[in-house]
Structure 1
Amino acid sequence: MCAAPSPAEASLEPALPAFPAPSAPESGALRPSGVATMVGSGLANQTGAAIGSLAFPVLGPAGVVAVRQYVAALVLLAVDRPRLRSFTRRQWVPVLLLALVFGTMNLSLYSAIDRIGLGLAVTLEFLGPLSIALAAARRSVDAVCAVIAAAGAVTLMRPQPSTDYVGMGLGLLAAACWASYILLNRTVGRRVPGAQGSAAAAAISALLFLPVGVVLALRHPPTAQALGYAVAAGVLSSAVPYLADLFTLRRVPAAAFGLFMSVNPVLAAVVGWVVLGQNLGLVEWAAVAAVVSANALCILAPRR
């Protein structure tokens, strides 16, 4: 098994496959431009997911994800066109697995958003990379972080008459896919040069969702408004975060970047409330805070 990522790498929102990023500065004050970019990237990512959910009544989660996969493929193919004929079997295996995980991750997340709301879905999904980071650690403080994160997850999933267990399960499936995505991306990055592996995976994932787009177009022709929402989701949740992260990682220490990315569940809850009117209760906010705090503590605690 390949090495697990650092907490900063694990905290990346999976809008696009995480390419080997330029080394971030290890010290020095945060630059205002870097902070502004991180804020903009996080808000764009969660706003894109919220806008995409507005197209659910017409396209459904699968239709919105299909459009998002198309946008992601176009962006990545523009960055680095893969030489598919030169790929060996050793390279194709992780690329194909990454394509499958990439599509499943987004589909399960958007289906969870449709059932339990943006804030709770993103919080459950965030347990995936957090688990990877904690599994790779060997400090006593990481055990505390694991307990805090587990408490937050149990609080979110506490049995109630109105609990949507299917939605919760989809959120946890997205978490498992995100964790698998991180490990596979590491393998692809080592076996395939540049961004060719990630671009190939995104293109294959888009092809897998092509029948979904065809069926929707023939059986339920999308309205211009719904299609616009889905395209906006693809741009805001794929293209913008990818380009912003490339800019940010050159100007912000890795620990600070990972710490800020861990706030994504909070941003998702706020955007869900402002854009979609999805209100969280005090207990749900406490659970979100527990998951975010666990990641923050894992990053900030001194290492031997």
Structure 2
Amino acid sequence: MLASSASNQTGAALGAMAFPTIGPVGVVAIRQVVTAIVLVPIVRPKFRGLHKFQWLPILGLVVVFSVMNLSLYAAIDRIGLGLAVTLEFLGPLTVAIASSRRALDVASAVLACVGVVVLTAPGPTTDLVGVTLALLAAAAWGSYVLLNRSVGQRLPGLQGTAVASSVTAAAWAPVAVAWFVSHVPSATAVALAVACGLMSSIAPYVADLLALRRVPNHVFGTFTSVNPIWAALAGWLVLHQALGVNEWVGIGLIVVSNVLVSACGARALPTP
């Protein structure tokens, strides 16, 4: 679980290093294509025989993949990795809180809101566009959680994810061609974007699958709380993006909020 998180955020940091040459659009385009190239041969998804009720959530994932990655990377370009990933983290946290009626979850939601205010420190110098892009990524991640659950109920294993990844890559292919005509990529930028695709998509897929076979869902959910911390560390070590005291405090409040929701949620489950 820790390796998955570290790989994901380090990959995002490497992708950000390619922004000056090919921008967030170029990094996302390469990441989508790399994900499909690796995932499709492994899973071997079956496109024939899919029904409309199966295609609808898959196409939803295609939209979500594109919006989530593009808005996140555009946010990283404006407000930094640690802040962008922490705000994006509000997506699955909101889904978890919305599905519960416990007073503790309401308190956790309030704690997360306080964390957002402390983290972003609203004021004249706040990059509202960057914050909005990160919150858009959060909404997309929350939608991904719901759509992925629906796809998992309608298709076995990683079939749905592989089909969605291949369709997303096909949709991004012409965008990539048009983009790279005016943003000529260097070999270094392409290598960084490919590494981003491998470390932020493929490695976490494999690591998460292995982890979920060994630990309960609530433990896995609790460990995902480390993502904003890894993002902040990766931003500092790789991109030299230092965080202020208020930003570390805000990250801490949001992380604690997720830990409370994930860990304490397990206690509310009936004993089998």
The answer on 1:51 being equivalent to 2:14 is yes
Task: Give unpaired runs (5+ residues) of structure 2.
Answer: none
1:100 positional shift: 0.8
Number of corresponding residues: 267
Alpha-carbon contact 1:129-1:179 (below 8 Å) kept:
yes
> Counterpart in 2 of 1:161?
124
In structure 1, C-alpha distance between the alignment counterparts of 2:167 and 2:102, rounded to whole Å: 39
Matches within 5 A, 1:98-113: 98-113=61-76
Is the CA contact 2:119–2:249 (under 8 Å) kept in the aligned structure 1?
no
The equivalent of 1:265 in structure 2 is: 228
Corresponding residue for residue 199 of structure 2? 236
TM-score (norm 1): 0.85
Aligned-partner residue type, residue 193 of structure 1 = P
Q: Quick one: structure 1 residues 256 and 191, their matched pair in 2 at CA, closer, same or farther if it must change by over 3 Å?
A: closer
Superposed displacement of residue 198, structure 1: 1.3
Structure 1: which amino acid aligns with 2:35? Answer: A
CA contact (8 A) 1:69 1:209 kept: yes
SS in 1 for 2:215: coil
Partners of 1:241 and 1:300 in 2: how far apart?
22
Alpha-carbon offset, residue 111 of structure 1? 0.5
8 Å CA contact 2:92–2:138 kept in 1: the answer is yes
Instruction: Pick closer, same or farther for the CA change 1:186–1:254 going to 2, 3 Å.
Output: closer
TM-superposed deviation, 1:71: 1.5
1:97 aligns with 2:60: yes
> d(CA) in 1 for partners of 2:219 and 2:45?
32
Residue 268 of structure 2 corresponds to 303
CA distance in 2, matches of 1:97, 1:259: 27
Among 25, 40, 63, the alignment partner of 1:62 is 25
Contact 1:50 1:275 in 2 (8 A): yes
Q: Distance in 2 between matches of 1:300 and 1:248?
A: 17
Superposed, 1:129-148 pairs within 5 Å as 129-148=92-111
Tell me, yes or no, if the aligned pair for 1:79 and 1:195 is still in contact at 8 Å. no
Q: Secondary structure at the match of 2:48?
A: helix
- 1:66-113 per-residue CA deviation (whole Å, 9 max, x = no partner) reads 111111112321232222221111111111111111111000000000
1-structure distance, mates of 2:215, 2:51: 36
Letter in 1 for 2:93: L
Counterparts of 1:61-210 in structure 2, within 5 Å, are 61-210=24-173
Q: Structure 1: 5+ residue runs without aligned partners? A: 1-37
Query: Hey, what's the Cα distance between the residues in 2 that align with 1:200 and 1:102?
Result: 12
Counterpart secondary structure, 2:32: helix
Distance 1:191 1:249 in 2: 20
Which residue of the other structure, out of 207, 216, 220, is the alignment partner of 2:183? 220
SS at match of 1:86: coil
- Please report how far the alpha carbon of residue 156 of structure 1 lies from its aligned counterpart in structure 2 after TM superposition: 2.5
> Does the 8 Å CA contact 2:119/2:248 hold for their aligned counterparts?
no
Alpha-carbon displacement from aligned partner over 1:196-255 (angstroms, at most 9, x marks no partner): 221111111111211222123322321000000000100111111111112222223333
8 Å contact kept, 1:71–1:238? no
How far, CA to CA, are the matches of 2:106 and 2:118 in structure 1? 18
For residue 159 of structure 1, give the secondary structure of its aligned residue in structure 2. Answer: coil
Q: Give the distance between the partners of 2:218 and 2:63, measured in 1 at CA.
A: 30
Structure 2 counterpart of 1:225, one-letter code: T
- Which amino acid is the alignment partner of residue 268 of structure 2? R
Q: Check the 8 A contact 2:11/2:196 in 1, yes or no.
A: yes
CA RMSD of aligned residues (A): 1.3
Residues in 2 aligned to 1:73 and 1:189: alpha-carbon distance in whole angstroms: 18
Instruction: Give 1:108's aligned amino acid.
Output: S
Out of 65-74 and 283-292, give the one that drifted further.
65-74
| Preserved CA contact (<8 Å) 2:14 2:193 | yes
Partner SS, residue 84 of structure 1? coil
